[in-house]
Amino acid sequence: MASQVSKRNVRRAVVASALAVGALTATAAPAAADPITIPGVGTFEIPGVAIPPLPELPQPPGIAPPAPVQTPGDRAVSAAESKLGAPYVYGASGPDSFDCSGLIQWAYKQAGLNIPRTSYDQASAGSAVSQSDLRPGDVVSFYGGSHSGIYAGNGNVIHASTSGQPVKLAPISSMPFDGARRY
């Protein structure tokens, strides 16, 4: 209750001050009534008081927004995307042909991180991530950890699947999900 009374008294004082200023300036410059807005109080019309328009302020020079920060996972996805269509070769780890874990290791090496070579070791290193919390760059394990891919976002993984199949983008749901790790 006391705060309401003090707010009301402040508003009255501000309005009275605005009216007094209006009375002083009304004799100096009679003009059409323009409303006066007092932030937090309200808008008032004071007869005979014209408020000149504010000069237009120069616009500050454009400031470029900060560049988005790329995680090692983002960079690994970009590297893996550059190898879409590369041939599958058992035991290969790039740069021209890959097996599943070789592709993941190579992609992360391009991102500046050294991760384990085999799919089983990749499935046990890094930090565990739930399927509902996947982010691009997470290493996804399938078939009990015997196959790995890199999560590319939008429900897809990039992986080197098997002999005769090139590195490709596939729905994560096309294989039995076993787990995921974040590096």
**Could you tell me the residue range of the domain that residue 80 belongs to?**
72-182
Instruction: Name the active-site residue from 79, 80, 86, 100.
Output: 100
The confidence band for 50, taking pLDDT boundaries of 50, 70 and 90, is low
The confidence band for 23, taking pLDDT boundaries of 50, 70 and 90, is very low
162 in any annotated domain: yes
64 in any annotated domain: no
Instruction: Name the active-site residue from 75, 83, 147, 181.
Output: 147
Answer yes or no: 159 catalytic.
yes
Same domain, 23 and 83: no
pTM score over 0.75: no
Please give the pLDDT value at position 29.
45
Instruction: Name the active-site residue from 111, 159, 160, 167.
Output: 159
Q: How far apart are CA 168 and CA 154, in angstroms?
A: 15
Same domain, 28 and 85: no
Same domain, 86 and 153: yes
Number of domains observed in the structure of the chain? 2
Q: What is the pLDDT of residues 84-122, one digit of tens each?
A: 999 999 999 999 999 999 999 999 999 999 999 999 999
Question: Is the pLDDT reported for residue 8 higher than 70?
Answer: no
Average pLDDT, the chain: 84
Share of the chain above pLDDT 90, in %: 62
- Residue 35, beta-bridge partner list: 45
Please give the pLDDT value at position 34.
62
SS (H, E, C) 95-138: CCCECHHHHHHHHHHHCCCCCCCCHHHHHHCCEEECHHHCCCCC
Q: How far apart are CA 66 and CA 107, in angstroms?
A: 26
Same domain, 7 and 97: no
Answer yes or no: 125 catalytic.
no
Same domain, 79 and 148: yes
100 in any annotated domain: yes
Q: Are 115 and 108 in contact (CB under 8 A)?
A: yes
3-state SS assignment for residue 14: helix
The confidence band for 28, taking pLDDT boundaries of 50, 70 and 90, is very low
The confidence band for 17, taking pLDDT boundaries of 50, 70 and 90, is low
Least confident of 67-76, 151-160, 163-172: 67-76
Residue 146 CA: distances (Å) to CA of 31, 140, 176, 179: 85, 11, 11, 11
- The more confidently predicted of residues 182 and 58 is 182
Answer yes or no: 172 catalytic.
no
CATH number, position 103: 3.90.1720.10
52 in any annotated domain: no
